């Protein structure tokens, strides 16, 4: 489910509707485009009318995660989409989850206000995610043991539930339900802490750091492209970071260019340095060509949010077919699909992609806990795709993505 945030344009104040993980704010009133920057996850609050309470409002943090958990075990590779909002403080009496309220009510960005206090987040994010993932088959796999687990996140944020304090009664400020009694919570630190300046979101004009021209992007883009000087910039907590980008020549048939993170790395524990090493270690049903010994091994991770199955399949097809690609610098094409999966999440996916690519589970799976990447380099590469009815097809590698999935992934 998508959560919406009411946000004023920092230039003209007009209301703009953002999705919870959007980092780009394009205002249709004044035409300005701004990038949102924060140290750590975004923080939101459920809209409330508790301001009049004399003692201020206490805010209880909930961890919001939307993304996929991947699990590699003897049973193969499992995945599940997780969409959850779980309490992140151990204070007794709080509802364990915010349920549908964030979706029904929309969110406001957390801002410093008067006497309000904030309960610290003291339950670790990993523990919360594990609990959210522990259902059905995945639960059995988590308990029986696995070789590798990865969370590929799409949104990770905090949502605060406002709680009013009146005459020692703690009440959910939205539905009025009692959540606790100060006298019974004496052992628990219910005072909370004050707002931290580092939580604030900063707005930064989306001008190209190289040439000063304005850059534009979809709200959920993680990379901005400058049309004037042809540079590409990843959005990070510290500002824009220049990234090297390439593209595979497409010709007239190319209707769409899909972005991939090309992660070139060594895996010493598996003695994988070249593409030939990879072909041999993963027991592919083909003989490595002599030239593949000179070709550094790269993992190709889709730089777009896709359903887990398609994500793995597309990455596998390009990773195995990388020897057919010759990406180069070139004139940027107008029809480039936005990068919606940041480089950091793509790195999280490398081990899962290695497991997906192998033709022999036993050669690779048991080593996954020891796998470390060294000499890592990341580039962004756009691959041309042809329009084949219901599918987008990358002609060099035969990678295929159903059109309806790509649309789904974009708004997922
Ligand atoms: Zn505006
Ligand atoms: Zn520029």
Q: Where are the domains of the chain?
A: 38-202, 244-411
- Supply the pLDDT for residue 382: 97
Q: What is residue 412's predicted lDDT score, i.e. its pLDDT?
A: 39
The pLDDT value given to residue 187:
62
Identify which ligand lies nearest to the alpha carbon of 205: 1
| Nearest listed ligand to the Cα of residue 225 | 2
Query: Would you say 404 and 307 are in contact if contact means Cβ atoms under 8 Å apart?
Result: no
Distance (Å) from CA 203 to ligand 1 centroid:
12
Question: Would the pTM of this model clear 0.85, i.e. be above it?
Answer: yes
| pLDDT at residue 359 in the model | 96
CA distance 174 to 108: 14
Q: What is the pLDDT of residues 126-160, one digit of tens each?
A: 888 887 777 767 777 777 889 999 999 778 899 99
**Nearest residue to 250 via CA among 392, 382, 339, 390:** 382
In contact, 159 and 62? CB cutoff 8 Å = yes
pLDDT along the chain (412 residues), means of 10: 88 92 92 91 85 71 92 92 89 89 91 83 83 75 86 88 85 86 70 87 93 90 93 89 94 92 97 97 94 96 94 97 94 88 95 97 96 96 95 96 75 41
CA of 33 to the centre of ligand 2 (A): 15
| Centroid of ligand 1 to alpha carbon of 34 (angstroms) | 9
Cα atoms in the 13 Å half-sphere on the side-chain side of 109 = 24
- Cα dihedral sign for 373, 376, 380, 384? negative
Q: Closest ligand to 11 CA?
A: 1
Alpha-carbon torsion (320, 323, 327, 333), positive or negative: negative
**Residue with structure tokens 């703009």?**
16
**What's the CA-to-centroid distance between 330 and ligand 2, angstroms?**
15
The whole-number pLDDT of residue 51 equals 55
Question: In this structure, are strands 254-266 and 374-388 parallel, antiparallel, or unpaired?
Answer: antiparallel
Q: Give the model's pLDDT for residue 82.
A: 87
**What integer pLDDT is reported at residue 188 of this predicted model?**
66
CA distances to 220, 233, 245, 387 from 39, in Å: 18, 18, 26, 40
**26 C-alpha to center of ligand 1: Å?**
8
Distance from residue 196's CA to the centre of ligand 1 (Å): 27
């Amino acid at each position: 489910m998508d959560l919406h945030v009411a946000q004023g344009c920092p230039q003209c104040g007009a209301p703009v509707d953002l999705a919870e993980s959007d980092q780009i704010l394009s205002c249709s009133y004044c035409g300005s485009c701004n990038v949102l920057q924060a140290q750590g996850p975004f923080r939101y609050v459920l809209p409330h009318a508790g301001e009049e309470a004399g003692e201020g409002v206490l805010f209880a943090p909930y961890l919001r995660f939307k993304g996929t958990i991947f699990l590699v075990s003897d049973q193969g590779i499992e995945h599940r989409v997780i969409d959850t909002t779980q309490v992140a403080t151990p204070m007794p009496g709080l509802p364990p989850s915010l349920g549908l309220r964030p979706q029904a009510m929309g969110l406001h960005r957390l801002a410093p206000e008067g006497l309000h206090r904030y309960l610290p987040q003291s339950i670790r994010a990993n523990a919360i995610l594990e609990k959210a993932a522990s259902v059905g088959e995945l639960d059995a796999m988590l308990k029986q043991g696995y070789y590798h687990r990865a969370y590929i996140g799409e949104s990770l944020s905090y949502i605060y539930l406002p709680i009013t304090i009146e005459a020692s009664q703690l009440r959910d400020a939205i539905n009025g339900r009692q959540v606790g009694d100060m006298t019974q919570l004496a052992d628990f630190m219910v005072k909370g802490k004050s707002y931290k300046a580092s939580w604030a979101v900063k707005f930064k004009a989306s001008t190209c750091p190289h040439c000063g021209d304005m850059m534009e992007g979809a709200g959920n883009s993680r990379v901005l492209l400058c049309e004037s000087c042809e540079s590409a910039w990843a959005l990070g907590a510290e500002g824009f970071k220049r990234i090297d980008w390439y593209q595979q020549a497409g010709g007239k048939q190319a209707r769409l260019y899909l972005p991939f993170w090309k992660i070139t790395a060594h895996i010493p524990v598996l003695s994988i340095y070249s593409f030939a090493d990879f072909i041999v270690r993963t027991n592919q049903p083909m003989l490595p060509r002599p030239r593949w010994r000179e070709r550094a091994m790269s993992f190709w991770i889709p730089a777009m949010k896709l359903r887990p199955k398609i994500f793995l399949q597309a990455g596998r097809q390009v990773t195995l077919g990388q020897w057919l690609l010759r990406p180069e610098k070139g004139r940027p094409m107008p029809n480039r699909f936005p990068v919606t999966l940041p480089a950091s999440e793509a790195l999280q996916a490398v081990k899962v992609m290695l497991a997906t690519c192998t033709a022999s589970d036993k050669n690779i799976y048991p080593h996954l806990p020891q796998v470390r990447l060294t000499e890592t380099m990341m580039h962004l590469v756009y691959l041309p795709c042809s329009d084949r009815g219901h599918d987008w097809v990358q002609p060099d590698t035969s990678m295929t993505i159903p059109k309806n999935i790509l649309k789904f992934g974009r708004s997922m």
